[in-house]
Structure formats: C-alpha cells, structure tokens
Amino acid sequence: EELPLVKNSFSAVTMLQVLEHTEDPRRMINEACRVSDRDVIASVPSKPDSNPEHIHLFDRSRLDALFEAAGAALIRLEEHEERFYIFAEV
C-alpha cells in the first residue's frame, strides 16, 4: 500500500529499527525512496537476537540489493554494535 504522500515529499526519510519488523521490507524501502527526494537513512540489527518480533535478518548484500532495486545508491553501509546503519541517496 502506498503512503498517502506525493513523490519526493521529503528531503530525507528515516527508518530506524523498523525494517526487521515488517512483512515486506522491499515495499517499505520502495516507498521510502519514492517519498524522499534525496536521502534515506535506516538501521537494522546485523546479528541474530532473541526478539521474536524481528522477522528479518539482513546482511550487507541483501541490503545493497534491496536499496538498489528501489532506485537508491548506498552511500555508506556501516556496522557498529550489532547494527547496520544505511545511508542511501535516491
């Protein structure tokens, strides 16, 4: 489902500790890229944990593929304290 927002509504969109909870992270990334006219910033766990609400675990190659498929270029992808921090430009 699309957000009720026009394309390029925001200069930046953040998704911090959200993607691992969604049924379809691809759709969420696509929507974030659609409504951002420049930057998308996200963070996700980089290691398995015991949280039953975490339904996805991402690695670097999957994150790169998801953002590339959404039309975004990864500017930085850093791992720090069991989290990936993603900085992408659309």
Does some domain include residue 49? yes
pLDDT at 79 over 90: yes
Tokens standing for residue 47: 């290691």
Does some domain include residue 5? no
Does some domain include residue 16? no
Whether pTM > 0.85 for this model: the answer is yes
- Tally the domains of the chain: 1
Instruction: Tell me which residue of 62, 56, 58, 70 sits closest to 22, measured CA to CA.
Output: 56
3-state secondary structure of 34: helix
Does some domain include residue 2? no
Question: How would residue 72 be classed by pLDDT, with cut points 50, 70 and 90?
Answer: very high
Q: Compute the distance between CA of residue 39 and CA of residue 68 in angstroms, rounded to an integer.
A: 13
Q: What is the pLDDT of residues 1-46, one digit of tens each?
A: 777 889 999 999 999 999 999 999 999 999 999 999 999 999 999 9
Domain region containing 62: 22-89
DSSP letter for each residue of 53-76: T------HHHHHHHHHHTT-EEEE
